[in-house]
Structure 1
Amino acid sequence: MTEQEINLYLKEILNTMHDGLFLTRPDGTIMMVNDALVRMTGYSRQELMNARCSIFDCDVCHRSRAEGSRHWCRLFKIKRENMKSCHIRRKSGEYIHVVKNASLLQDGDGEVIGAVETLTDISELDARDRKIKELSRLLGGEESFFGMVGRSEAMRRVYDLLERAAQSDAPVIIFGESGTGKELAAAAIHELGPRKDGPFVQINCAALNESLLESEIFGHVKGAFTGAYRHRKGRFEEAQGGDVFLDEIGDVPLSIQVKLLRVLETRSFERVGDNRPLPLDARLITATNQDLRALAEEKRFREDFFYRINVIPIHLPPLRDRREDIPLLAEHFVRRLQETGKEPVGGLAPQSLELLTAYSWPGNVRELKSAVEYAAVVCRDGLILPEHLPPQIASVCAAPQGPEATADFPAPQAGLPRQKAELIQALRQAGGNKSAAARQLGVSRITVLNRMRKYGIDMRKVITS
């Protein structure tokens, strides 16, 4: 085939490409597109022809134009861009992640006659990467139910309810104290449901301030606020076709609750700084360790939003209410340490299992896991004996419980919300060390600080009282 014949069939050749391709004139207007670009962007060929390439609203191009000096685009200065990661906007308003290659076209005299760009859609690779990360979070194992270990009657009821809830598309809310496995329960609903092939996107609502949380959930457009230098796809947009999990929903500010309520009612949302609604095709799963009814009565949580998310409630029992599962859980965590080979621990002595079973576990399963890991480090090898366990376990087990509790390990104060009482107790036991208190409660240090501000806890009064 001659060069003239190749040029004759060039259009058909370009239309077989999987990557999107377009040519622009020196003024930035589009003069040719291939079929892949039409499919990728959702625009028709007629809509793209003679339109400016800014129609794709590429965040990298925004910066390129700003750096273009006397040129309208930086490409005319650097002449070529390779493997540039960016986001472009489809006709529907959805942003997709692409890798861009671009080059100037010059004639024999070196005059610029246009530019060529190719776009590779890597959003499917992003989705696969998220899926791998989701699956890696599951503990697995024959004795577990999607990472949740337990054979007690209480847990069997939870497993049955999770299976039933997974088949519905209605909102699910998971109630449970810190460390009871709410994230694993949400992941189980996703894996058991019809959306399991879609993404499972989760957000810890207590870890971000109001403005960051809003951007994280809904996304934002370039220039929406100071520091928004490029488009940001929100978690709702990433969760399309799957499930979105909002953990610590009780810490969501009232202003964002209003927007989430509207999303649930209209099944659409808007990015921060944008007024174009995007459809929401994702199932909402929420979780909390707080009493939302009490918060609603105190006007710190919207009652209408509570009823909208409280369609299928699932209550995870605290570890102290299923003590028969403690030996199974402890052996499970020991076995996992043995499999890693990092801690050559031989197992748990019977006396150690008795102490673990007797302990109240305010941090629940997360605290038990940390206790086993601590004991394995102290033990070095052989059996884990009582002296290898964290000091607070043997001390608390030996201390009187209930009304006779000692000053060192007081019972939760009557009349206070459970979460506040548990926080004060943990801070006292930790001597005011917030990181240690966070480990006892099975939460992050940021969550401890947020709750201290929320309940107005004065550290000096906690330590001296």
Structure 2
Amino acid sequence: MQALDVSLYFSEIAKQLHEAILIVGTDGKIVFANRSMESLIGFSAREIEGSPCTVLGCDACHILRSETQDAWCALFIKGRVRGKRCMLTRKDGTFVSTMKNASLIRNAKGKTVAAVETFGDLTESDIKDAKILELTRALQEQGAFCGIVGESRAMKDVFQLIEKAARSDANILITGESGTGKELVASALHETGKRKSRPFIKINCSALSESLIESELFGHAKGAFTGAYQHRKGLFEMADGGDVFLDEIGEIATGTQAKLLRVVENKQLERVGDHKSLYVDVRVIAATNRNLDLQIAEGLFRPDLYYRLNVFPIHLPPLNERREDIPLLAYSFIEEFRKKFNHDRLQISPAVMALLAQYHWPGNVRELRSVLEYASILSDSGMIELHDLPNRYQELFMKMNEKEADSNPAGDGECEEKIRLVNALEQSGGNQSRAAARLGVHRMTVWNRMRKYGITSKRVLG
């Protein structure tokens, strides 16, 4: 049987392969690209064959040609590249993330005649990685991906708005005080919306300087500024087809607001250092704890950007306007901390729960969670009492009880109140917590009444 000379059919074989293949001559010109390569970069083979490989804008390539070194690039010196992550520039100007492998082709005499490069498309892998990272962060921070807790009328109204907003592609502006759960609402909007299978990209606008935020949002081209050694996709480009969450939108400088307006209005952006316009299909979810109307009046926020973002507003009420949700929130946090600290017996005493429900919580849900996490770590018995809370809150709650005691004037029922107190203490063996439970009041109320009537445990038991 006559041996088959496979080399005669290489071109046809390579065209059928799933992996993208590119062959570059020693002069740096492209001599072959298969169909998968055409699909990857958007150019046809005819368009790029005979052109220098720099047409693909690979950010991992380092041109080494000089008067004393007759080599097109590092590959022709090193001989191979293995598992190199790089970004190629497609015909439409967008970036595509790839994994590159390359080696030299030599003739029968051992002379290098070309280099063959293969590229694996990492786009879907990058999307999955971003999704996994986002889910992991949400689980670590909140214990549940969309863990918005609330049964109050105010929160039920918010839930209805989320359901309606999720069905649309309208831009959304979430407002509310710090700590009310704006990021959780943004996550819920994405997870219940039409774009839930696509990326959900978050950025805290207050955490980045004006010089950095444009590169983060819109990306940059290699060499755009000092330190820009590689092409970089911006968050809007990474979120193509999905949602972008701009937290603390009120912190963005007015110069960046103008560029952001173009993306929100026309879905077009320009990378830093590149003047080519790119189309991105994203929905913008923005959030702020600032009064944007006031910022507009002061010239700190563009009104046209505000109107584009505020298509569907969602306002989150502060915790002191939905006090009936405090016990539910507290129990949900305790359930989380039971698992986190491996403390199965962890619970909140009724007296502490009553105090939590009375406090005004200026830091909202975030403050409540912080206080209970501290108490969960400190509590040895598993029952969170007043002395387990941070010192600041012990003092605040003591003052709250003193004010309550001072606001109750003496009257005809004073004697009866004293008798009930003494009886409860006698039946509880002088234990103030058990006496409070019998009376249906907080332990601090018992303490205040004992002080008011000059009662001590020794006198009761004596």
TM-score by length of 2: 0.82
Instruction: State whether residues 139 and 145 of structure 2, in contact with CA within 8 Å, keep that contact through their aligned partners in structure 1.
Output: no
Q: Where do residues 394-405 of structure 1 align in structure 2 (5 Å cutoff)?
A: 394-399=394-399
**Does the 8 Å contact 1:345/1:376 carry over to 2?**
no
Query: Hey, what does 2:89 align to over in structure 1?
Result: 89
Match of 2:44 in 1: 44
How far off its partner does 1:343 sit?
4.3
CA contact under 8 A between 1:337 and 1:345: conserved in structure 2? no
Equivalent position SS for 1:168: coil
Secondary structure at 2:281 match in 1? coil
Report how far residue 345 of structure 1 moved. Answer: 4.9
With 311-320 and 343-352 compared, the bigger mean Cα shift is at 343-352
One-letter amino acid of the structure 2 residue matched with residue 332 of structure 1? S
After superposition, give the CA deviation of every residue in 1:179-225 in whole Å (9 maximum; x if it has no partner): 11111111111111111111001110000000100100000001111
Greater alpha carbon shift after TM alignment, 337-346 vs 203-212: 337-346
Aligned to 2:267: 267
Aligned equivalent of 1:404: none
Question: Which deviates more, 303-312 or 215-224?
Answer: 303-312
Corresponding residue of 2:169: 169
Number of the residue aligned with 2:428: none
Question: What is the CA-CA distance between 1:139 and the residue it aligns to?
Answer: 5.2
1:18 Cα deviation (Å)? 2.1
Q: How many angstroms does 1:364 deviate by?
A: 1.2
Distance 1:273 1:57 in 2: 14
Q: Which amino acid aligns with 1:372?
A: L
How many residues get paired?
A: 399
Q: Aligned runs of 1:110-121 on 2, under 5 Å?
A: 110-121=110-121
CA RMSD after TM alignment: 2.3
Moved more, 131-140 or 167-176: 131-140
Percent of aligned positions that are identical? 47
Return the offset for 1:144.
Answer: 8.0
Q: Following the alignment from structure 2 to structure 1, what is the Cα–Cα distance between the partners of residues 344 and 69?
A: 63
Residue aligning to 2:32: 32
1:235 aligns with 2:240: no
CA contact (8 A) 2:64 2:71 kept: no
1:57 and 1:89 in contact (8 A); partners too: yes
**Contact 1:268 1:280 (8 Å CA) reproduced:** yes
Amino acid at match of 1:250: G
Q: Deviations over 1:124-162 (max 9, x none)?
A: 01101112223334459xx98921011111110000001
Q: Relative to structure 1, is the Cα distance of residues 301 and 399 closer, same or farther in structure 2, using a 3 angstrom cutoff?
A: farther
Residues 400 and 64 (structure 1 numbering): CA distance in 2 closer, same or farther, change over 3 Å?
farther
The corresponding residue for 2:252 is: 252
Instruction: Read off the aligned partner of 1:353 and give its amino acid letter.
Output: M
TM-score normalised by L of structure 1: 0.81
Amino acid at match of 1:9: Y
Letter in 2 for 1:14: A
> Contact between 1:64 and 1:75, CA under 8 Å: does it hold in 2?
no
Instruction: For 2:400 and 2:382, locate their aligned partners in 1 and report how far apart those are by CA, in whole Å.
Output: 31
Match of 1:347 in 2: 347
Aligned counterpart, 2:14? 14
Question: Are 2:195 and 1:200 equivalent residues in the alignment?
Answer: no
Aligned twin of 2:427:
none
Q: State the partner residue of 1:380.
A: 380
Partner of 2:446: none
- Quote the offset at 1:259 in angstroms: 0.9
Is residue 138–residue 144 contact of structure 2 (8 Å, CA) maintained in 1? Answer: no
Maintained 8 Å contact 1:343/1:380: no
CA contact (8 A) 2:234 2:271 kept: yes
Distance 1:150 1:69 in 2: 70
AA at the equivalent of 1:331: Y
1:129 counterpart residue number: 129
Quick check: 9-18 or 94-103, which moved more? 9-18
Shift in Å, 1:269: 0.5
What's the CA shift for 1:344?
5.1
Q: 1:246 to 1:320 in 2, by over 3 A?
A: same
Relative to structure 1, is the Cα distance of residues 64 and 327 closer, same or farther in structure 2, using a 3 angstrom cutoff? farther
Q: Check whether the contact 2:138–2:145 (CA below 8 A) recurs between aligned residues.
A: no
TM-superposed CA distance for 1:20, in Å, is 0.6
CA deviation vs aligned residue, 1:48-90 (integer Å, no higher than 9, x gap):
2111111110111146679x95422011111111000111111
Q: Which residue of 1 is the match for residue 184 of structure 2?
A: 184
Range 46-55 or range 118-127, more displaced: 46-55
- For residue 355 of structure 1, report the CA deviation from its aligned partner: 1.7
Matched ranges for 1:415-454 at <5 A: none
Taking a change above 3 Å as real, the CA distance of residues 177 and 64 of structure 1, as seen in their structure-2 partners, is farther
Distance 1:145 1:159 in 2: 15
The answer to which of 308-317 and 339-348 deviates more is 339-348
Distance 1:109 1:144, change over 3 A: closer
Conserved 8 A contact 1:355-1:394: no
Q: Which residue of 2 aligns with 1:443?
A: none
- CA gap 1:286/1:4 in 2 versus in 1, 3 angstroms: same
Name the amino acid aligned to 1:174. I
Residues 5-54 of structure 1: CA deviation (Å, up to 9, x unaligned): 43343333323322210111110111111111011111112112111111
**AA at the equivalent of 1:360:** H
Paired residues of 1:30 and 1:50 also in contact (CA < 8 A): yes
